[in-house]
């Protein structure tokens, strides 16, 4: 079970530091890896991320960076100093290359966000892309591999195909994980924890099914057990 703790990333998608701190206390040693995204980051979450890292937790900083090369590079340089484990960027080749160069020599795993799991084919068309989500994910996975990124963020629906492209070494991080019977929320391409592992995911990002549960620790333990069964 301990190795699965390194594969389960709990999203602290909560509005305040007080609530995030409470969730971490309740989860205790059951969880070793946390995601901090926009919602918490803009409520003091960046300092909290540093504190968690200093306490021995792994932190996935979900910032989805995209800007001119110099701005991306300077941001990555400072994030390296924070002691984070993972950082997301949108999978644009120039931004990825700049980030890889800035993170060189560090332990920061840079993740390329391919297509958001809240998007379906019509959403991708509306955004101006000529590819369907599956094709776009695979194209961006190839570009991330070429750029030297540490991993890919995609739906677990595409994890198997992505794994064939990037090989065994790169991380394949899959959000949009929903245990059987849970609410999809705003996610459109979702997969169960067991199927995500079977499909080749190296890390599963789970937020609402755990942080919105009445018993967060029990919810996390159930997901870990399902992951282990796969």
Q: What residues are paired with 58 via a beta bridge?
A: 33
What CA–CA distance (Å, rounded) separates 187 from 155? 10
C-alpha distance across the termini of the chain, in Å: 12
Annotated binding residues: 13, 35, 62-71, 117, 178, 187, 207-208
Annotated binding residues for substrate: 13, 35, 62-71, 117, 178, 187, 207-208
Residue with the two structure tokens 């609530």: 19
Angle, to 10 degrees, between the axis of helix 93-103 and the axis of helix 69-81?
Answer: 40
94 neighbors 131 (Cβ within 8 angstroms):
no
User: Annotated active-site positions, please?
Assistant: 62, 64, 67
What CA–CA distance (Å, rounded) separates 9 from 66? 23
């Amino acid at each position: 079970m301990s190795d699965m703790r390194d594969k389960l990333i709990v999203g602290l998608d909560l509005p305040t530091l007080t609530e995030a701190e409470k969730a971490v206390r309740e989860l205790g040693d059951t969880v070793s890896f946390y995601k901090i995204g926009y919602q918490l980051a803009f409520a003091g979450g960046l300092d909290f991320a540093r504190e968690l890292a200093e306490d021995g937790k792994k932190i996935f900083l979900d910032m989805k960076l995209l800007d001119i090369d110099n701005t991306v590079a300077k941001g990555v340089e400072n994030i390296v100093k924070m002691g984070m484990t993972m950082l997301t960027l949108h999978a644009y080749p120039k931004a990825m290359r700049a980030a890889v160069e800035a993170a060189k020599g560090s332990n920061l795993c840079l993740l390329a966000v391919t297509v958001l799991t809240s998007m379906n084919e019509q959403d991708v068309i509306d955004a101006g892309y000529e590819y369907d989500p599956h094709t776009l994910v695979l194209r961006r996975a190839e570009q991330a591999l070429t750029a030297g990124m540490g991993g890919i963020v995609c739906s677990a629906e595409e994890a198997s195909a992505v794994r064939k492209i990037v090989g065994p070494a790169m991380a394949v991080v899959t959000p949009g994980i929903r245990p059987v019977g849970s609410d999809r929320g705003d996610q459109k391409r979702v997969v169960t924890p067991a199927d995500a592992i079977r499909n080749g995911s190296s890390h599963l990002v789970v937020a609402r099914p755990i942080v919105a549960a009445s018993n967060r620790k029990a919810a996390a333990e159930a997901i870990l057990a399902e992951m282990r069964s796969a």
